[in-house]
Chains A and B, each alone.
Chain A
Amino acid sequence: MMQVRLSHYMRTLGEDLRRDWQLYLLVAPMIIWFLVFLYKPMHGLQIAFKDFSIFRGIEASPWVGLAHFQELFANELFIRSFWNTITISFLGLVFAFPVPIILALMFNEVQNALARRWAQTIVYLPHFISVVIVAGIVINFLSPSTGIVNTALGWFGIAPIYFLTQPEWFRPVFIGSSIWKEAGFESIVYLAAIAGVSPTLYESARVDGASRWQMVWRITLPCILPTIIIMLIIRIGNLVEVGFEYIILLYRPSTYQTADVVSTFIYRTGLQGTQYDLATAAGLFNAVIAFVLVYTANRISRKVSSTSLW
């Protein structure tokens, strides 16, 4: 039975390939990229269970079972970094996720084409600035002696705040500047979705005497909801991934308390401390959590809204 099904499958695959070879050719580079950069390296994940030495190599390093995981979970700094990751991502989800949607809706309402193009270009621009430069700008703006933010606070008689060394300020600064950098660019996908909404819907609404607010609320939003949900699922999958380059540029030992995330922990132990096995264990754990999150989000979404990734 299996045999029959398999041979049938192979035959149809062969036919498909012959018929649509141009399409498969187009998709090939992406598949190869996945195989080479995402699937092949999975072989190396086994060092999370080994006492890895780069000289002995992956094969010859002895197995140690779950020792690295035990070590990780006994490490309060790892646990802290894990919760920090979740907290930063979650706050990012709450505060940063809606911004591009709102931006896209606002752009859509701007009638003057020239003003609209200008506004869009201005909010896209920060996306193309390297994080190193963004971090430099943030550090300068928030400097307690010469920064523009503290100068402005000074006009209202507020004493300078040393934002970057105070743990309670790290998350607002990080999330705020990330929104500034990325919101504009992320709004593109929603703008595209809005462009796909059929104009007839608006026309008939206008005939029925709907206000603009009602059109946004009753037509635009429901129509782009599938896009929003897909973006949300992807975002949830990335809950445990916080861009570590930007954090490394902004954090100091005095803000580790709120700023140290799993990826920076991995960076410090794995790359700086050369404990590759421990860092791989941390990374693997992260990936498993991410998978569970995506899977759950997808399940819920499929049940509730019949929109899902798979």
Chain B
Amino acid sequence: MKAILKGVSALALTAALVAPLAVSAQETTRIVDEPLELTMHFHFRDKYVYTQDWPVEQVVAEKTGIHIRNTASLATTSSRDAFNLLIASGNLPDIVGGDAGPTLKDDFIRYGLEGAFIPLDDLIEEHAPNLKAFFDSRPEVRQAISGPDGHIYFIPYVPDGKFSRGWFIRYDWLEKLGLEVPETPEEVYDVLVAFRDQDPNGNGIKDEVPYFARDEVDAVRLINLWDARVSGSERYGDFAIYDGKVRHPWAEENYKVGIGHVADWYAEGLIDKEVFTRGSRSREYLLGNNLGGMIHDWFASTATYNTALADEIEGFSLRPMLPPRTVSGDRFEDARRQQVQPAGWAISVTNEHPVETIKYFDFWFSPEGRILSNFGVEGLTYEMVDGKPQFTEEVLTSDTPVNAQLWEVGAQVPRGFWQDYEYERQWTNEIALEGIEMYEECDCLREEFLGVALNAEEKEIYDRYWPSILTYMTEMQQTWVLGAEDVDTGWDAYVERLNSMGYDRVIAVMQAAYDRQYGAQ
């Protein structure tokens, strides 16, 4: 009863606010005349489930006539477990969605091929103009989510915005020591040495940590200076594309050079001694205690330390810098935001209303659906200003982060939707925006490896060899950096071992799958 009342009031609210549009929009957004209820399993971020109480959901239910009833239990504190249990039970609701770790995309495809989810291509062609237009404009997304049989089995959550992480350095330290922003590997070296030796924090103790990192993926990021890559995607240790060829960055010749130098720098104390053990709080600790000098990390969150520490550390200025040029004179940024998230939703084989369901999925890709899924409900979380959604002051100045507030109303949840970076820009720190603009101008992102869908034979090869190879490579990476073995003497044995562990065979199946999936480009 309460839910219905809330629904009515939210509807009244939106009806009043979008009144001029409503007449024409009502016609097109209505999917069914009689309200239709669909069941859905939707568990996400390990602690949320889909709910009809969300204002966004109520507006959409009213607009489309499709009512979603969630079947996922909040009692489970792992979205992955919830998904696995659902699949194992065999008792599938009409829709399965949400997120569940980095492999959910592969799971949608795998269980789609086994008959749990239906292929969506024909349905999209006939009933989903918005989705069709989207896939036509972003063919790489379509390719990235296709199964080995060429079909689409789920509609993904498509993030927007290109940049994730970038280089930050203490500008106030540079100024104090009379240094410029480093532009080459040699200059980076000199700056880090100066940070180490010349006491930029001025406490008289040699306690500065020149380069530090929070995540594994950034611990060895300095190998970029020797043209080597850490990963082909946001996932640590992913494959990468080199001129249309799939290879692994950690088996490349430039990686040997890069990791060798990083090991030297580590030994000299230019890289945090505890870079592998300090964990996720290292940034907070090292910046808060005025110890850290240079970092590669997320733009938005790293930039906020400028405001957070303004009162505690005099003159604190941690600002973004362009990626330094590499030894070969190149300039590139290794990290980028994922173009497709392993999240979204799929239609179960037991669903008796596939057409209505795909129309419902399609709604979220319509201009109206995009605003709802990105900004929430008009009047509640945003207002229209000059025809564009703008978050209300209340939302922007609240103590709760904006994204957390949006989850509360049912926006920015990992359904199959198309994110709009504008939503994030509106509450991103100015210094971060400055960095993003700088990187935008540089235009130095590397191509993202979007992943491949392996067929059964390829998957068998992959599963047999790859987990061990990746473990071995990770192990050797740390062994070298920590100085337990010298890279120059160990490299040949390393390459040989990779081959004996099946590296070439894995690369061959990855390449075959890649050609099949992206060949048409």
The chain A residues found within 8 Å of chain B, CB to CB, are: 53-57, 71, 75-77, 139, 143-145, 160, 162, 164-167, 252-254, 256-257, 268-269, 273-275, 278
Shortest beta-carbon distance from A249 to chain B in Å:
11
Contacting pair B484 A167 (CB below 8 A): yes
A-B contact count (CB 8 A): 70
Contacting pair B114 A254 (CB below 8 A): no
Residues of A near B471 (CB, < 8 A) are: 77, 253, 256, 268
Residues of B near A256 (CB, < 8 A) are: 471, 475
Contacting pair A55 B482 (CB below 8 A): no
Residues of B near A164 (CB, < 8 A) are: 277
8 Å CB contact of B482 from A139, A145, A165: A165
Known: A145-B274, A275-B463. A165 touches B88 (CB 8 A): no
Contacting pair B274 A143 (CB below 8 A): yes
Contacting pair B87 A55 (CB below 8 A): yes
**Which residues 109-164 in B have Cβ within 8 Å of A in the complex?**
110-111, 114-116
8 Å CB contact of B467 from A143, A167, A257, A273: A273
Contacting pair A54 B273 (CB below 8 A): no
**Which residues 290-347 in B have Cβ within 8 Å of A in the complex?**
none
Contacting pair A76 B468 (CB below 8 A): yes
8 tightest CB-CB pairs across the interface, nearest first?
A254-B478, A253-B474, A54-B88, A253-B475, A253-B478, A77-B468, A55-B111, A256-B475
Q: Is B47 an interface residue (CB 8 A)?
A: no
Distance in angstroms between the alpha carbons of A275 and B103 in the assembled complex: 12
Contacting pair B475 A274 (CB below 8 A): no
Q: Among B273, B277, B471, B478, find the residue whose CB has the most chain A CB atoms closer than 10 A.
A: B277
- Which chain B residue has the least Cβ–Cβ distance from A254? B478
Contacting pair B276 A269 (CB below 8 A): no
Residues of B near A253 (CB, < 8 A) are: 276, 471, 474-475, 477-478
Interface residues as binary, B54-91 with A (CB distance below 8 Å gives 1, 0 otherwise): 00000000000000000000000000000010011010
Interface residues as binary, B259-278 with A (CB distance below 8 Å gives 1, 0 otherwise): 00000000000000110110
Residues of A near B103 (CB, < 8 A) are: 274
Distance in angstroms between the alpha carbons of A71 and B463 in the assembled complex: 10
Shortest beta-carbon distance from A266 to chain B in Å:
12
Contacting pair A252 B87 (CB below 8 A): no
Contacting pair A254 B482 (CB below 8 A): yes
Residues of B near A275 (CB, < 8 A) are: 463, 467
Distance in angstroms between the alpha carbons of A119 and B277 in the assembled complex: 34
Distance in angstroms between the alpha carbons of A144 and B274 in the assembled complex: 7
Q: Is B479 an interface residue (CB 8 A)?
A: yes
Contacting pair B87 A77 (CB below 8 A): no
Known: A55-B111, A77-B472. A71 touches B276 (CB 8 A): no
8 Å CB contact of A144 from B115, B116, B273, B475: B273
